[in-house]
Amino acid sequence: MENINLTAEPWKDYELIDSGDNKKLERYGKYVITRPETQALWKPLNPDAWKKCDAEFKWAEGKGNWQKNNLPESWEMSWQNIRFICQLTSFKHTGVFPEQSPNWQWLAEKVLKIKEPKILNLFGYTGIASAVAAENGGKVTHVDASKQSNVWAKKNAELSGIEEVGIRYILDDSLKFSEREVRRGSVYDGIILDPPAFGRGPKGEVWKIEEQFPRLMETLEKLLSKKLGSFFLLNGYAAGYSPQSFLQATESYFPKIKAEFGELRIKESDSERFIPSGIYVRFVR
Task: Write the pLDDT tens digit of every residue in 93-113.
Answer: 999 999 999 999 999 999 999
Which pLDDT does position 79 carry in this prediction? 98
Contact 224, 253 (CB under 8 A): no
Average pLDDT over residues 200-213: 87
Whether the predicted pLDDT of 178 surpasses 90: yes
Contact 55, 88 (CB under 8 A): yes
Q: How confident is the model at residue 164 (pLDDT cuts 50, 70, 90)?
A: confident
For all residues of the chain together, what is the average pLDDT? 95
Count of all residues that appear for the chain in the document:
285
Which pLDDT does position 94 carry in this prediction? 97
Which pLDDT does position 118 carry in this prediction? 98
Tell whether 41 and 171 lie within a shared domain.
Answer: no
Range of the domain at 43: 6-76
Whether the predicted pLDDT of 6 surpasses 70: yes
Distance CA 250, CA 234 (A): 9
Looking up residue 36, the CATH number of its domain turns out to be 2.60.40.1180
Average pLDDT over residues 41-47: 97
Average pLDDT over residues 264-269: 97
Kindly report the three-state secondary structure assignment for every residue of 217-281.
HHHHHHHECCCCCCEEEEEECCCCCCHHHHHHHHHHHCCCCCEEEEEEEEEECCCCCEEEEEEEE
Whether the predicted pLDDT of 31 surpasses 70: yes
Tell whether 187 and 55 lie within a shared domain.
Answer: no
Looking up residue 183, the CATH number of its domain turns out to be 3.40.50.150
Tell whether 54 and 103 lie within a shared domain.
Answer: no
In a domain, 85, yes or no: no
Tell whether 19 and 115 lie within a shared domain.
Answer: no
Tell whether 103 and 72 lie within a shared domain.
Answer: no
Tell whether 50 and 110 lie within a shared domain.
Answer: no
Whether the predicted pLDDT of 124 surpasses 80: yes
Which pLDDT does position 14 carry in this prediction? 98
Task: Write the pLDDT tens digit of every residue in 225-241.
Answer: 999 999 999 999 866 88
In a domain, 1, yes or no: no
Tell whether 68 and 113 lie within a shared domain.
Answer: no
Tell whether 29 and 165 lie within a shared domain.
Answer: no
Share of the chain above pLDDT 70, in %: 99
The count of domains in the chain is 2
Distance CA 81, CA 79 (A): 6
In a domain, 87, yes or no: no
Tell whether 39 and 163 lie within a shared domain.
Answer: no
